Structure 1
Amino acid sequence: MSTLHRLGARGRRVLSVAGLYLGDGCLSEHRKAVFALRIACDDAYPGIIADAAEVITTVNPGRPVHRVQAPGCTHLVSYWKHWPCLFPQHDPGRKHLRPIVLADWQQEIVAQRPEPFLRGLFLSDGCRVNNWTTRQVGHHVRRYEYTRYMFSNESTDIMRLCQGALDLIDVPWRMPRPNALSVARREAVAVLDRIVGPKT
């Protein structure tokens, strides 16, 4: 029986939280080996705050998700002894200065259902933007507008995880900068619109 089958919808939610954790989250140890999962959310996007809180509650039911206000952002905090079991990527130090590798069971779930993982990554460190360019058509310069998704992260490992998950669903991407990924083809943007959508 696969890990995805055993965990069901909860397993997919775990990977959604993992995407949020890799972007804007951290684990910190408290007394009696209890860990606090903290995910920082921009106050400009109350929809993301509500969605992230719901996902955390699904993964860790019966425990409250605390909202701690800070200038311009809300920290979602959940206490549990087992957060390090679900996120073995936890370790001292900044994520971009240490290896970030998915555990075998996490890789299995991402391989079968990469969408929740991508959603968490893009809600943390991604954006949907409108861009424009110009083309010479005959004697005229015409302006064209198009939508694209951007994902930025200083960790090359996290960037590779995002690239790999996009490859699994045949979404083409390119790297305009070493720390930035772009998805701009119309059909690829439509796929991410279904999975992620505009931030609210």
Structure 2
Amino acid sequence: MRCLIGLPASVLALLLAGCTLLPETQPVDVFRLPASGLAASPQPALAASLRIARPQSSQALDSNRIAVVPQGDLLSSYQGARWSSPAPALLRDHLLDALQRDGRFRALVSDDSHLQADLLLDGDLRSFQVEYGTDGPQAQILIDLHLADADSQRIRASRRFSISQPLAGEQASAAVSAFAVAADSLAAQVATWLGEQLTVTEGAAAQ
């Protein structure tokens, strides 16, 4: 307090008031990606366990920001809104939830777990953003997925998945709802693809 002695009364009042000179923090809404609504598959169970890895992505997508491309190549984000986790982690967790609901795999784990699995699903997330075009804003998911043997890391199959889902509005909440539908559409396609790949493998092994 000795260093405050001799200061003008007006300056002293501002210092003692604390944060009166600092800008107010803008409130931020934090959104989760809604849980999957995928139904259980009627297909036979597969005799394999699967580890789902967090996909690689650019620095711009590996973020809590809800990315939006309003025009051309301009990458922006919704103001006052954030994802609860970076987009690659959100998508990995959604796929894990969806495939658990699908029920075909003997066991499922994420790459956060130290448990071993027979197979590895890895990939590169190219797009996870809202894009404005002639048809209005759409949630875009573009991902290259690779199915590999967990031990040898040998790739069994690869495929690119591209999903677009129109937004019902221009608010961040509308974007979240659209991403939920797009992520479930992606999960359904991934489940079918994985089932086809492993059914062929199991059929060849039985011959």
Question: TM-score w.r.t. structure 1 length?
Answer: 0.22
Task: Pick the structure with greater CA Rg.
Answer: 2
Q: Greater share of helix residues, 1 or 2?
A: 1
Question: TM-score w.r.t. structure 2 length?
Answer: 0.21
